[in-house]
């Protein structure tokens, strides 16, 4: 997504993220030191941020304030206002985004007109078109402003590009919807929402955007002609039901039978590969006839069992299906639909997850390096995040917390603070118990008390040193994974 933005827009995104995370006044000196901003850069970015906040407040009917007293800065927003609103506004204000939208809606006439409309010179326009061309290259498309059809490439890749562009910018109700039959589309989404409760708001938002772009292109005689066979898995409803529903809702849109069937198949497969199921959803879906969908012959089945055995994960039937369905759809999407959703509501920052959940991240990387399909296509953030969430859900389902008893000479308030620090420092689930009768897995103490000989004991100072936190983390991890594997003996943990 950053390929779409200028250096200044990327800096503005970083500033927004930092201020949102801080949730308090940030000294100007800290900002300058952190981002190596000059006085001019800071003031310029703050002016842009003020204009951006004004736009967001007006369009989204929210109330965000920025408090700037020259010495420090603070971003004030209600907790229910997501940071994505601000990020999406940055993308929508980008000249690259505006150029792409003009090209899709056939509003682009010439570079001269675009420059005059946005008060830029031709050299700036050249930079904008180059950024758009670089981003299009990820989708196997390219820009040629001298041709009648300015964006060249396969139709399915063209649609993947605009899906990605509009989804990360949050514009699910983009202006081109006026060219399609909104009543029909809204009726179609409402029927699916009521008939198939498995889909989330985000799932339906994706489907609406996929079909909006597709119907716009179909009405302009740009149809899917070279559509490949894709082994998608949709547990909510089979293709036959989807086809029947689309035909009923869009009966006036149908032209050539063959191209219309290809359109429906494209909508179905694209949507299915973007759908990620939770364990709870799979538990509510009837998947007794998995053989009908070819899941019993999937090349992922053997691989899943093999890798999970190596990782000593004893999966239930539902967990196997959970991994199988999500991994299969994710791999199909990676191969056939180049999509980036780096700013979507459900896709978190991969680097943040790596810091917060290092154990899950290591397991995820193990899976990613050994995926059972051709990895000629780069792994994008959405795919990595999908696999991360799949594995994390499985691990969370099998969590057995490490029971810890704190026995210290410090007072209760300090002990509560210490428990919080331990919880933050250790990256496995913990449960603090209050009495030795609850049989803790580990006793953390600064006393030498023989009453605790039945449990493992970790000795440290009343005010622990940093290296003691590190040693404790290693001990707790060993106990946790021993419990996860069902080992009764914790010998060799080395307290």
The CATH number of the domain where 446 resides is what?
Answer: 3.40.50.2300
76-80, 200-204, 385-389, range with greatest mean pLDDT: 200-204
The last residue of one of the domains, among 363, 397, 431, is 397
Taking 80 as the threshold, does the pLDDT of residue 264 lie above it?
A: yes
Taking 90 as the threshold, does the pLDDT of residue 333 lie above it?
A: no
Q: Looking at the domain assignment, is residue 41 inside a domain?
A: yes
Q: Looking at the domain assignment, is residue 369 inside a domain?
A: yes
The two tokens of residue 454 are 């039945």
Give the lowest-confidence range in 200-204, 225-229, 299-303, 470-474: 299-303
With b for 16 or more beta-carbon neighbours within 10 A and e for fewer, the 253-292 pattern comes to: beeeeebbebbbbbbbbbbbbbbbbebebbeebebeebee
Q: Do 428 and 479 fall into the same domain?
A: yes
Q: Do 291 and 378 fall into the same domain?
A: yes
The last residue of one of the domains, among 397, 428, 452, is 397
Q: Do 376 and 409 fall into the same domain?
A: no
The CATH number of the domain where 23 resides is what?
A: 1.10.10
Average pLDDT of every residue of the chain: 77
Taking 60 as the threshold, does the pLDDT of residue 428 lie above it?
A: yes
Its domain, for residue 71, covers: 2-82
Q: Do 305 and 411 fall into the same domain?
A: no
Taking 60 as the threshold, does the pLDDT of residue 349 lie above it?
A: no
Domain count, the chain: 3
pLDDT in tens, 136-186: 998 889 999 988 889 999 999 999 999 888 877 765 545 555 455 678 888
The two tokens of residue 310 are 């190596």
Q: Mean pLDDT over residues 93-98, rounded?
A: 91
Q: What is the pLDDT of residue 174?
A: 53
The last residue of one of the domains, among 375, 397, 419, is 397
Q: Do 366 and 424 fall into the same domain?
A: no
Q: What is the pLDDT of residue 408?
A: 77
Taking 50 as the threshold, does the pLDDT of residue 490 lie above it?
A: no
Q: What is the pLDDT of residue 489?
A: 34
Q: Do 304 and 388 fall into the same domain?
A: yes
How many percent of the chain have pLDDT more than 70? 76
Q: Mean pLDDT over residues 379-394, rounded?
A: 68
pLDDT in tens, 298-311: 566 666 667 666 66
Q: Residue 211: name the closest of 159, 254, 171 by CA.
A: 159
**Looking at beta carbons, which pairs linking 391-398 to residues 24 or more positions away fall under 8 Å?**
391/360, 391/363, 391/364, 391/367, 392/357, 392/360, 393/278, 393/279, 393/322, 394/313, 394/315, 394/319, 394/322, 394/323, 395/313, 395/359, 395/360, 395/363, 397/279, 397/319, 398/313, 398/314, 398/484
């Amino acid at each position: 997504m950053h390929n779409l933005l200028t250096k200044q827009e990327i800096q503005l995104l970083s500033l927004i993220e930092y201020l949102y995370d801080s949730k308090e006044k940030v000294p100007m000196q800290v900002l300058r030191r952190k981002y190596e901003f000059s006085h001019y850069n800071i003031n310029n970015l703050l002016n842009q941020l003020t204009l951006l906040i004004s736009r967001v407040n007006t369009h989204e009917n929210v109330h965000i304030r920025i408090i700037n007293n020259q010495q420090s800065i603070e971003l004030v927003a209600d907790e229910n206002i997501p940071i994505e609103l601000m990020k999406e506004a940055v993308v929508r204000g980008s000249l690259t985004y505006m150029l792409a939208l003009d090209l899709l809606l056939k509003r682009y006439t010439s570079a001269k007109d675009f420059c005059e409309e946005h008060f830029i010179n031709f050299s700036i326009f050249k930079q904008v078109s180059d950024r758009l061309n670089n981003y299009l290259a990820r989708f196997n498309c390219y820009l040629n402003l001298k041709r009648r059809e300015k964006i060249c490439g396969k139709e399915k890749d063209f649609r993947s590009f605009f899906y990605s562009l509009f989804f990360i910018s949050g514009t699910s109700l983009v202006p081109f919807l006026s060219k399609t039959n909104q009543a029909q589309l809204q009726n179609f989404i409402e029927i699916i929402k009521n008939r198939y409760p498995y889909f989330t708001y985000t799932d339906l938002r994706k489907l609406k955007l996929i079909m909006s772009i597709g119907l716009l292109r179909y009405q302009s005689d740009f149809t899917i002609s070279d559509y490949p066979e894709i082994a998608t898995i949709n547990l909510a409803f089979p293709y036959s039901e989807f086809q029947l529903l689309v035909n009923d809702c869009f009966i006036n849109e149908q032209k050539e039978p063959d191209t219309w069937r290809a359109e429906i198949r494209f909508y179905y497969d694209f949507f299915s590969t973007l759908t990620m199921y939770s364990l709870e959803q799979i538990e509510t879906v009837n998947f007794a006839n998995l053989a009908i969908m070819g899941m019993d012959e999937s090349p992922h089945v053997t691989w899943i069992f093999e890798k999970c055995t190596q990782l000593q994960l004893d999966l239930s039937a539902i967990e196997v299906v959970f991994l199988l369905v999500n991994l299969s759809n994710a791999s199909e999407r990676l191969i056939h639909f180049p999509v980036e959703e780096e700013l979507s509501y459900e896709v978190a920052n991969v680097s943040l997850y790596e810091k917060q959940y290092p154990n899950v991240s290591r397991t995820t990387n193990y899976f990613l390096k050994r995926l059972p399909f051709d990895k000629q296509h780069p792994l994008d953030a959405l795919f990595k995040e999908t696999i991360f969430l799949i594995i994390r859900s499985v691990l969370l389902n099998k969590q057995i917390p490490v029971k810890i008893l704190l026995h210290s000479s410090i007072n209760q308030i300090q002990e509560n603070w210490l428990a919080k620090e331990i919880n933050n420092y250790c990256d496995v689930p913990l449960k603090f118990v209050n009495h030795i009768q609850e049989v803790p897995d580990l006793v953390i103490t600064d006393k030498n008390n023989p009453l605790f000989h039945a449990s493992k004991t970790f000795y440290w100072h009343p005010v622990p040193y940093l290296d003691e936190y590190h040693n404790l983390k290693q001990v707790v991890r060993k106990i946790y994974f021993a419990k996860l594997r069902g080992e009764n003996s914790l010998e060799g943990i080395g307290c």
